[in-house]
Structure 1
Amino acid sequence: MIEVYKTYDDGLRQINDFEEGCWIALTNPTATELLQVSDRYQVDINDLRAPLDEEERSRIEVEDAYTLILVDIPTLEERNKNNRYVTIPLAILLTKGAIITICLEETPILKSFMDGRVRDFFTFKKTRFILQILYKNASAYLQYLRVIDRKSEEVEKKLHASTKNRELIELLELEKSLVYFTTSLRANEVVLEKLLKTENIKQYPEDTDLLEDVIIENKQAIEMANIYSGILSGTMDAFASVISNNLNIVMKFLATVTIVLSIPTMISSFFGMNFVNIPGMEAKYGFYIVTAGAFVLTALVAYILAKKDLF
């Protein structure tokens, strides 16, 4: 899908054709759309296809007619009816006539610009637009990290009484998401450092503060990802032992119950044998006496085991 936007005096509008100073947003584009943009702005088709590969690394490439900025952005992926946090590439191409963004799927980062929810956003102010996208990206990482932290706390509460592996698997998925985030954030940090030194992208004094904010947000996201990853790793080790201990408690309880129930079973088995001279068989209340004795002995054994904290 291809969408074209441009800022006018009355605000941001979606247009039908390429114009000077426009923003071209490509979302999972077709080969025809890529060729159309490539021919119009003299962009290498391989650079346009690069963000369509989920394994593509973050980088900056400077060419004669354009500059390619490739970063990783966070997104949600549904797997087995559960949300999984991953990263996908987002390409920003700075050309002489327009700024081009390419992504595999629709992302809230760019959607906020399309909906006009970003202040001081103008399609013709290309440097600021790039920095605003990078700032939104770093903020999105922080938002997802907070969600992961809250979700991990919910899973921890379930683990306290769990004897199954389901919760541990959920924590493992969260830890894998944090590894993806940390790797992508570090790659984005390298891109930001190169962005400072790239002469093809004009550095305006009014954008200096925004660039500093982008770098600070990205560093904060890296620190948070490292902290949460360390906490999750320790939590998984601790709760693996908790689950094992919970299973031991269940097995101990079942063994104790088995011992207690074996007493009346053993007594009834003795008196159920097909012998002639069974003690008490001539007594009028023999059955009730034996039954009561079995219950008393069972209760006594249960009391002793309970005092030893075996229940």
Structure 2
Amino acid sequence: MDVFPPAETDSTAQAAAARAPERVKSWQHLTAPRPADWVAAGQLADDWDFAQDILDPDERSWLRREQGRVFLTLQFPVSGPGEDVWTLRPLGVVLHQQNLTTVLAEELPTLSPFFAQMEHLSSPPESIEILAAILKILARSYEEALQQLNQAIHDNEQQLDWTQSNGDFFTLLEISKSLTRFEVALVGNIATAFKISRLAEIRDDLPATRQVDTALLELQVAHERARVYAGTSTSMMDAYAGMVQNNINHGLKVVTVLAMVFYVPSMFATLYGVNTTLPFQKTHWIFWVILLLGLSIAGGLAAFFKRKGWI
């Protein structure tokens, strides 16, 4: 658990919690907080459910105002165990007057540099400015993730042109699933960012308003890109699946045609190989007649199928 500025001692934590509404402008960050950490940070015990919601990786983006406090969550993209697998992790924000508290279940690579910079500031910016900066980081993180996924789509396309292996198809499937997650998450983030832009605390600060509006626009652009990339990956999967099926059908057709070509000489060889009395079996030229007749019919069938483009 990280708290910025550093948490107070046990003797002063209760007093700080009691006078939380009168606290001066501040920002603090909690990572995987416990109930005692939550109260020590100046939050109400009744709001502990919000901190538990942030621990759920599937928590969606939303915003609500309750008892003079603004509670909101934002979904950040996080690179998963695979190179082309991306997941989502929620960031919780509590805005109360001039106090801002951010909550994470685990540290996020996209936010860690910003939080580290804020930690070393002797006088952090105002809470609404920090919130606006977080929205900018959110939009930039989606842009960077989408760029990587778009590059992965192109790399996978080139790989599929050569191999058409199941592993490449599964990679493309993971990319498509990640883009679908982004598309859905961005809808919630955009709705939450729009509600943030309508907050009175934001509208009273012109620079913060501009930053939030810019972040909202970038999120909308990212959503459109995610939608296009998701459609592209789905179309690629359908196209390659159809191509693989067509190749299978072509292979079966070639095998069938070759079987028909070799069927006639095989039939003649089988008929004149049985242990019964057959016409002209005593002659010395019947072997060459059967051989030439079988090869002629097979050659004619092969020429016919070749002209049709079946082999």
Structure 1 counterpart SS, 2:85: strand
**In the alignment, what sits opposite 2:265?**
264
Alpha-carbon contact 1:4-1:22 (below 8 Å) kept: no
**Residues 265, 121 of structure 1: alpha-carbon distance in 2 compared, 3 angstrom cutoff:** farther
1:167-225 deviations in whole A, cap 9, x for unaligned? 66655544443332222212111212221222345743333432232112111111112
What is residue 112 of structure 1 aligned with on the other side?
A: 113
Q: Does 1:24 align with 2:29?
A: yes
CA contact (8 A) 2:90 2:104 kept: yes
Equivalents in 2 of 1:212, 1:195: separation in Å?
Answer: 10
Structure number with the higher helix fraction is: 2
Determine the structure 2 residue equivalent to 1:228.
Answer: 229
Long gaps (5+) in structure 1: 7-14
TM-score, L = length of structure 1: 0.75
Change (3 A) 1:3 1:202: farther
Shift of 1:259: 1.4
Displacement, 1:97? 8.1
Match of 1:3, SS?
coil
Separation in 2, partners of 1:300, 1:17: 95
Contact 1:5–1:23 at 8 Å: present in 2 too? yes
Opposite residue 91 of structure 1, the aligned amino acid is: G
Matched to 1:301, the amino acid is L
Instruction: Report if aligned partners of 1:256, 1:305 keep a CA contact under 8 Å in 2.
Output: yes
CA offset digits 1:3-51 (Å, max 9, x no partner) = 2345xxxxxxxx576898453241xx26xx2432234412311111121
The amino acid that maps onto 1:217 is E
**SS of corresponding position for 1:273:** coil
Partner of 1:10: none
1:192 alignment partner in structure 2: 193
Alpha-carbon distance in 1 for matches of 2:49, 2:229: 37
Instruction: Report the Cα offset of residue 98 of structure 1.
Output: 5.7
Greater percentage in strand:
1
- Structure 2 distance, partners of 1:277, 1:40, is 104
Are 1:51 and 2:54 matched, yes or no? yes
CA shift, 1:152, in A, is 3.2
8 Å Cα contact 2:7-2:41 kept in structure 1: no
1:4 equivalenced with 2:3 (yes/no): yes
Question: What displacement does 1:148 show?
Answer: 2.8
Correspondence for 2:12: none
Residue number in structure 1 paired with 2:19:
none
SS in 1 for 2:274: coil
Within-5 A mapping of 1:1-311: 2-5=1-4, 21-26=26-31, 29=32, 33-43=34-44, 44-64=47-67, 66-78=69-81, 83-95=84-96, 99-114=100-115, 116=117, 123-157=124-158, 170-200=171-201, 203-277=204-278, 279=280, 283=284, 294-295=294-295, 297-311=297-311
Go from structure 1 to structure 2 and tell me whether the alpha carbon gap of 1:306 and 1:220 turns closer, same or farther (over 3 Å shift).
same
Q: Does the CA contact (< 8 Å) of 1:164 and 1:243 recur in 2?
A: no
- 5+ residue gaps, structure 2: 10-15, 17-23
Q: Matched residues in 2 for 1:187 and 1:245: separation?
A: 40
Please, which moves more after superposition, 222-231 or 145-154? 145-154
The aligned amino acid for 1:86 is T
- Confirm or deny: 8 A CA contact 1:163 1:247 kept in the other structure: no
Rounded to whole Å, the distance in 2 between the matches of 1:157 and 1:51 is: 40
Larger mean CA deviation between 120-129 and 187-196 belongs to 120-129
The count of corresponding residues between Structure 1 and Structure 2 is: 293
Per-residue CA deviation, residues 211-254 of structure 1 (Å, 9 max, x unaligned), is 23211211111111222233344444444443332222122111
SS at match of 1:87: strand
Aligned AA (1:112): P
- For residues 39 and 128 of structure 2, the distance between their equivalents in structure 1, rounded to whole angstroms, comes to 21
C-alpha change, 1:281 and 1:87, in structure 2 (3 Å) is farther
Question: Conserved in 2, the CA contact under 8 Å of 1:163 and 1:244?
Answer: no
In 2, Cα distance between the equivalents of 1:240 and 1:60? 42
**Residue pair 1:163, 1:246 contacting (<8 A) in 2 also:** no
